Amino acid sequence: MPSDLVLVTGASGFVGKWTVIALLRAGYSVRGSVRSEDKAEAVRKAVVSQLGEDVLYRLSFVKLNLLLDYGWSKAMSRVDAVMHIAAPVQASEPRDKSKFMAAAVGGTERVLRFAALAGVRRVIMTSSVAAVAYGHGNQSAVQTYSEADYTNLAGMRVPSSYHIAKTNAERTAWALARALPLDLTTILPSAILGPVLDDDFSASVALVGNMLVGAGPAMPRSGFSVVDVRDVAAAHLAALQKPASVGERYLVASDYLTMPEVATILRSAFPDHPVAAPYLPDWLVRLMARFGGPLRVVYEDLGQQKHYGHDKIEKLLGRPLLPGREAILSCASTLLALRQSNAGP
């Protein structure tokens, strides 16, 4: 019901802001978890930029930490559903892996247990394709995955903390949903692009930004499946509104694009910008990934194209996903507008 109150963890993140906007547009009230008042103000500004000020009376905030119990019980008061979007994200291996895992896995457990204690049964959680498509051994160069697949961490050659965290957090969520019990749905996006609202965005967006200005390090020639952030937010909303989504996983991934293809799209649309995309040979990626850093995340993608089924999420949404090209171009155009705005007159 649009009069319901939804707690959105990680409300100030890239996905979090767009999900808050989607909920408010649909008539829901939103209580967003943030780490500071500055983050809350950033969410307010993003909401006003899309919906105007009239919806702000339905938006409130609470300061929470995934590593601490303090505040979670009060935050769950009068809540009808929880969207657990908050998660630690790093482009490279974290220095403190135990803290990273505690926020991802322990944080998920904390959110779900406090929801159950407050009598909140409905939980929608953001997972990732990182929990689906890895560690499955030698397969064909082009492989399509479905919601039935789970990453096999033991089968990964060089598992990254990100893959470990996402896989274990989702498995923990499903185990708790059965035990508590909770009505859980998980949303599993691929690389998230699309329009930016401010300078708090994902590593995928930063990659596009670096390519636009000819900056950033050399990259592998491999690629990734792209998804528009607006589709990720729409998937969370559709899951909330449709009871048939309870107990289900939904992959949210559009087109597969290689790094050279992304660069070609950007060059064509923005010919006045020095789009640069230097590439690393696969052998060097494999060598460097063993020492950690951002290349560890893409190590398992070398030599494979990982595609994801669209049918299930498109049935839930009642429409096709936005094309990968649209996600890239809307991302680039809003990044350029943001940079111009920040530069001032």
The CATH number that domain 5-193+226-254+307-321 falls under is 3.40.50.720
**Rounded Cα gap, residues 230 and 288, in angstroms:** 34
The two tokens of residue 212 are 């636009």
166 catalytically annotated: yes
Q: Which residue has the tokens 């974290």?
A: 94
Q: Which residue has the tokens 């460097």?
A: 288
Q: Which residue has the tokens 């105007």?
A: 52
Residue ranges of domains in the chain = 5-193+226-254+307-321
The residue among 282, 51, 301 whose CA lies nearest residue 163 is: 301
* DSSP secondary structure letter of residue 291: T
Omega of the bond prior to 181 within 30 degrees of 0, cis? Answer: yes
195, HSE (Cβ side, Cα atoms, 13 Å): 13
The Cα-based distances of 72 to 44, 116, 286 in angstroms read 22, 11, 42
Do residues 175 and 110 lie in contact, with contact meaning Cβ atoms separated by under 8 Å? Answer: no
Do residues 327 and 194 lie in contact, with contact meaning Cβ atoms separated by under 8 Å? Answer: yes
Q: What is the pLDDT of residues 292-316, one digit of tens each?
A: 555 555 656 666 788 999 999 999 9
How many other CB atoms are found less than 10 A from the CB of residue 188?
A: 27
Regions in the chain scoring below 50 on pLDDT? 283
Q: What angle do CA 318, 324, 329 make, to 5 degrees?
A: 120
| 3-class secondary structure, 233 | helix
Check residue 283 and give its pLDDT: 47
| 3-class secondary structure, 269 | helix
Give 19's contacts (C-beta < 8 A, 6+ positions apart): 8, 11, 83, 85, 232, 233, 236, 237
Query: Which one-letter amino acid corresponds to residue 153?
Result: L
Residue 29 backbone dihedrals phi, psi, to 5 degrees:
-95, 145
Do residues 255 and 194 lie in contact, with contact meaning Cβ atoms separated by under 8 Å? Answer: no
Q: What is the pLDDT of residues 217-230, one digit of tens each?
A: 566 667 889 999 99
* Entry pTM: 0.92
* DSSP secondary structure letter of residue 160: -
Give 119's contacts (C-beta < 8 A, 6+ positions apart): none
Check residue 302 and give its pLDDT: 64
Catalytic option among 39, 74, 99, 166: 166
